[in-house]
Every structure is written in structure tokens, then in C-alpha cells.
Chain A
Amino acid sequence: MTNIKERSDEIAANFSVFDDWLDKYNYIIEIGKSLPVFEDAKKSPSNLISGCQSQVWITAEYRDGQIFFAGDSDALITKGIASILIQVLSGASPNEIINCDMSFIDRIGLREHLSPTRANGLNGMIKQMKLYAIAFKSKHETII
């Protein structure tokens, strides 16, 4: 089982072969297509990430100390970005997610998507995934 660092390094390495922006975006769109089917029933307002031009839904499950994310978006680029985050963060522990370093986004060359004006929800997705980690940590791992 790999950790967040190894998974994000691997994705950054995959991206490093593209020097053309179009290839890079085609790859992001392809990654999005690899996401498992996200049932319509889960596309509820409570799973919706606010503040995006496109609609993005993220759900999370806690199993044996690990968090598994699922998600979808009506925009393909956003879906690809969601898929990247899900691939990197799924399977990690709450602590790992809370403390994870997201600088790989920079290395992939998606930094522009971190700008608050882009409104594509990358910031919102990361924030929501970290919030899930905090919630699961306090629910399952806090010693009372």
C-alpha cells in the first residue's frame, strides 16, 4: 500500500511527460473518466461543494482507520481534478489527510486552479476532504 506522498509523486511523474497544455488537459479528462460511477442519489445538495462554476460532489467513507472518497462533476476538467484528489487521498488515515502537503498540484502544473478566482472547486474539494478527515478523526479516533 502506497502513501499520499508516493501516490502524488506518481501522478506528478505521469504529468511530467506532457509539455503541451492540450495533452495535459486531455489526460486530466481521461483520469476523470476512470472514476467509478457515482450514483445520482448521491448527487445531493449536502454532497455538493459550494463555490464552483461546475457542480462537484464528494462523499467519504471511513473503514478500518482509512478514508475512501468518491466523487463526480458535471464538468469533465473538474471531474478529472476531483479524480486526481480522490486517487491521492483515498486510503489514507485522517491524520495523514489533515496534515498532507498538497504541493504536488503545483508540480502537476495545476497551480492556476488553486487561485480563488478560478472557482473550479479545487480549493473547495481539498477543504471538504480535510473536513471529512477531521470529522472522522473526532468520531472514531478521539480517546474519551
Chain B
Amino acid sequence: MKPELQDIRSQFPILNREVNGKKLIYFDNGATTQKPIGVIDAESQYYKELNSNVHRGVHFLSTQSTIAFENARKSVQQFINARSENEIIFTKGTTESINLVAQSFTSLLQKGDNIIVSRMEHHSNIVPWQLACKGRGLELRVAEITSDGLLDLQQLASIIDDRTKLIGIAHISNVLGTINPIKEIVAMAHSNNIPVLVDGAQSVAHLKIDVEDLDCDFFAFSAHKMYGSMGVGVLYGKEKWLEKMPPYQGGGEMIKNVSFDGTTFNELPFKFEAGTPNVAGTIALSEAIRFMQAIGIENIGKCEHELTNYALAKLTDMGNINLFGPIQNRSSVISFLLQNIHPYDAGTLLDKMGIALRTGTHCAEPLMKFFGINGTMRISFAAYNSIEEIDYFLESLHKVKQIFE
């Protein structure tokens, strides 16, 4: 059974604070979600009671620390239904997860091979590939979108050829809220023996993720967008790829033996985890998973869906507004523009009214270019948001319109 909204909200201390003398309305969840007390406590408990480096000490604390860290890996593995813990690499976020693949995977490729990413990607799923392509003489191809913000699958099919070596695609667009048909894309790619990397930054807190069902080859996400700590991310990779791929960074933990005649590397997943990880944050990630599972991910998704439909309908009613992205089958990210009002102006005044939202290009400049705009305003919801908050936001938006009229 889904807990009451109040029971969810009461777990988030920050929601009690005021901003600019107004009650905080936090609608910037696409950038990062707030943290429940369980996550906050797990971080501080770690430093109070367990702090010690992992995987290398025989002493009590190090052993306890390592057990807790590896238990977190187990929770992530179960959370996304990976086959083995070896497929769970801890990173510092989605960006690093994608950079890891972009650097390491492309070292297996030949000059003239190509990689495909889509027009709606966050810069984190574009720039790492540009860097890798430039360094290795690869071509970066763009999967285009339709004017209603959906991936153009026909065009995607037309740019795949026998030199295509990977497709990188967002599960959910951070601007449009589009939910991409990953299983269809994976089926198309796999029929051509092409692996698929899914940028799950915007989906992991909203949809049940089952990597076995999606059958994607890589899945990247950040803890901080799913109620966890900043500086912790995950790269899921199929073992067959991770085994083939060379290490991404060198250092401690990722080696088996080191000598100046040659170094041998550790087994998976440690081969890709050089240096001391964010142990406290990683342990806190299992608390974030527990928080989401206690409510039920499907329940979270359902509530957010209701909030999204409500907000979309009310915004449409308001008039003189441009909404971006699909109308149906979309996530709880809403990008819009008030006609003749710069998003920066509106965002500045809404901030004064206690509302945290995002304005700007949302790290998706190629997508802005597609729509011929310099930016949008974006609201994005999480498990703790309410209809009342949306009502207050709409009222505030109305005031903003009056100020600029």
C-alpha cells in the first residue's frame, strides 16, 4: 500500500524550510531530488561509526566498511535486476559512467567506425562521445527527433550501417520528458549486433528499471537523482562487454599486481574502480533504494503521472504558453515557455515566490537549436510533490504574467 503523501514529505527535512520568506516549492527534481532522512542519516552514521577504507584492511572497521559497501552493490544489482554484482560499477555519476564507456569501449573500435546518439541527449551523452570520436577517428551520427519530441525510429534505422558500433540513448529526455522505446531500439540495434548504452539519469527515480528486460548493454545513472547522495553513480554493463573493455583509470584497487615490467588488472567490477570510492554515499544509495521500494516505484510513477497530467492541463488552459515534448507517454518533466516572457525573468521572480525550477538550455543545446529557442522553463516532479504545490505554482506563474504584461 502506498504511504500517505504527508508520511513521504515528513521524511524530507528540507521541505520544511523557507526560501525568500516563502515555503519552499521544489520543482527542480530533474536536476537533483531532495534527500530523505534515512539517506542523510546513513551518510553521517558511516562517518560516525564505520569510516575506514574499503577492500584493503584486515582490521575490523575496514572489514565492516567493505561489507556495507559490497552490500550496496548487491542492493543496486537487485534494484535494476542485473545478473551479477560484477556488472555493477560504482562511479561518481551518470556523466562518469558514460565517459567510462566512451573512453574504454571505443578503444576496441577501428578508425572509420561510427557511434550514434540522439538529438535529445543531455550534453553528458554527447560530449564524451565527441571527445572519444575525435581521439580515435570515429564518426558521431545523430538520431533525429520529430517535432513532437519523439525519436524518429525510421531515421535511426537509416543511419545504422555495418560500421555502427554503439547507440547511446536517453531513457527519458531531461527536457521533453519523452520516454524512449528502449526495447524497440535495443531489438533494432541487436539485430545488427550493435550494443546500446542507456542514459538512465532521468528514468531511474520514476520507472521500474529491469536491465535484463530492457536487454540494454549499458545503463548509467546517478544516485542523487533518485533521493541518494551526490557524487555516486552506477554503470551497469553486460559482463561480456566489461570483460573485453580495458580499464578506464589507473590507480589503487583496480590492479592485481603492479611492477615496472607490467601490471595485471583486478577482476570485475574492481577493474573499473580505481581509487577510494565515495563509500558513505554508496552505502547511502542502498537507503535511497529502500526509500523508493518502501513507497513502491510503480506508486511513485503513478503519482507523478497524475501531477504531470494535472499541470499539463492547467498550463494549457492558461494560454499564451508553448509546451515542449509529447502529450502522452511522458515522464514528469515539463518544459514550457510563456509567450513574450524570457524564462530567466520568470524564473527569477518565481524564485522570489519560493519556487525552485530550472531555466535555461538544460545542458541540451542541440535540442534547443532544433526547436529554435534559447532555453525553456522546466518543472519536474518527485514523490513528495503535491497538487497544492502545483496550484501555488500556477497562481505564482499567473502573477509573473501580470508583472510582464
Please list the residues of chain A having a beta carbon within 8 angstroms of any beta carbon in chain B. Answer: 21-22, 25-26, 29, 53-55, 74-78, 119-120
Contacts and interface: CB of A to CB of B under 8 A. Distances in A.
B146 to A, nearest CB: 27
Given A26-B403, A75-B342, A76-B404, A53 B349 contact: no
B352 A22 contact: yes
10 contacts: A21-B352, A25-B403, A26-B403, A29-B404, A53-B343, A54-B342, A74-B342, A75-B345, A77-B349, A120-B348
Contacts of A55: 374
A114 to B, nearest CB: 14
A93 to B, nearest CB: 33
A77 B404 CA distance: 10
Interface residues of B, number: 14
Contacts of B374: 54-55, 74
Given A53-B375, A55-B374, A77 B403 contact: no
Nearest to B360: A53
B359 A53 contact: yes
A74 B346 CA distance: 13
Interface string B325-362: 00000000000000000111100110010000001100
Given A53-B344, A76-B342, A77-B348, A21 B20 contact: yes
A79 B344 CA distance: 11
User: Which 7 pairs across A and B sit closest by C-beta, in order of nearness?
Assistant: A75-B342, A75-B344, A54-B344, A53-B344, A53-B360, A75-B345, A77-B345
In the complex, which of the residues A25, A26, A75, A76 has the most CB atoms of chain B within 10 Å of its own CB atom?
Answer: A75
Nearest to A118: B348
Contacts of B359: 53
Contacts of B403: 22, 25-26, 29
Given A25-B349, A25-B403, A74-B374, 4 more contacts: A22-B349, A25-B348, A53-B359, A53-B360
